A and B are shown apart, each in its own frame.
Chain A
């Protein structure tokens, strides 16, 4: 017999990931009685810090921050709630030849370094930066707008389209040309137009494929490249950083802001069902059978879980469910988190140094990147993967015991669907070994300094973090799944076919990354509807 716990809420937010928390914070600040339900013992979803091994606090999944919308940092006053972003300086790409490419935030240094590979590219690099900023200026307002519905004749919607049209008109024809290409081309086709240095193109193209099952030569990846260029901290474009105390600190700061505004947050409170009565969401049933009621349910988990797991069959229109089934996840990446006794020693730049303080990218050539993708297409993890490594302990020693280090390795490709006969639980350690062997080709001492190793496969991301098919963005960032097509054509405005049920996770516009955009935009839409109802 299910017990109904007395209090009734205005809004129940399903999932205590960063978007769920942002959503709750905005709703609570507007005076709503909000309850956040998180399945795990810890908040943050994929933006989480966990002490996996004694003394070592890993940012288990997401490990750098860049896209977090500045208006959210401002509105929620996150610094006061303990958010501190430490800059991550530069990208270091070791090469098998013994050479390397090392870009840093210092413009002069980077210019000289690139010139060492190609004078032309050094010049083009500055131009490229300017062009990308122009693109970002066009795309940013779109990131903070509710997608229009092009299929209606509702003037309000058409105005939104017009707004975008006008902004496009406003650009110089040079910028238009770039914008169109960016929206449609492959990262490499796009970069080929600017640069000749292979290792530079390879490393830059990497941000175009992160979290997608696409290759650097796949059309549409140029856009994702921009998506990652949009990084903005304290108004400075393209700056990436760590949160002191690990990525989880971001979630904790947001949670703190939400609580201060009056939101109630429960962990280890996974839900089993969303209660729907004659087309209206009424509340949720917890895994333990408790029922909690609210006027509005806001789900930050992905559409597959929300609509096919938490909603009774037969409640939703078949056509809508068909579209949900079509929504593409296909996770393509994994993580290997290492607890180290000392620092890795790179052949091409021995000893410690500033090159270890930024991102270290294993992306030596375009062909290397594309071949890594080819393996994944046929259901294998890349024999030689793209790896993005950071050593947060050099910037924030607090996350490891004195003198020890943490190295976080983002690995692509690790396709969720392995070829028939293979499964991730069997492949897990082989996958981890393969990553270590790859790193060892550049930093041979790596094998001797590993104290502990945590391997996170796409299957782990699905099971432990509730990311369907292990997609870190809650669904691929491919053109046909963006803006007014995300997550489902006709349902990009955070509402769902079920009245009072909303979506507020990365599966909605503007999508994945620690951005908070979906949580905020969804909150604003929900508040609109409250007003409408009142």
Chain B
């Protein structure tokens, strides 16, 4: 397995090299896995999966929603919820500047889209994280929108589907980000108490405080093939233990072998996988 573009570490929004889009620009694109030169349109029509080797390109939250739901069925919530800078956080750049850049680059206020939708005719509450927005990191807005999505699913007794794609908790909101882990999981406890169905979909990458909170608490956990899934990111682990990581370490297939996801799925199967679990759960 080739790798490097998706290397991540826990709680790191800095994964994406500057200005790098989840999906490359241009008429022709090169598959990072098999190196095939592909006609962009043909990849797009294939759910952003390489027709040659099945490499799953990373997709934005909105593109994910379009792929997943029945046409025109997505009804967004809390679109106008927007982040603040509670700590006046400045590193090499002010957080406010990073937010403004990310908002300009993605057209989104923050790193998750939530709403109601239909998947193969079944109504769900859906949340899709957006890696393009500061590495999909979870700050107050992501935590709050996810929490509201969970509570809405509980309120309406609808299945909940969260598609995770995140480097973890957002450093620039520090303790506020950390506590979103406790908040989202507390909401999930309520949903669970009510017998709600939560399908957690892990995509590349899902690490850090997102994995260690709602993402790992699905009643059923699906993972896209070869997605990087873990608590600590590979770099941190490598620095700690100072040895090479095993082949395929923290990839979806490895995590399945370890017993922490139910199924590894192809992107093309995701709609049918989700809808049949909803049917089995009787939701």
Question: Are A and B associated in one complex?
Answer: no
Q: Which residues of B contact A (CB under 8 A)?
A: none
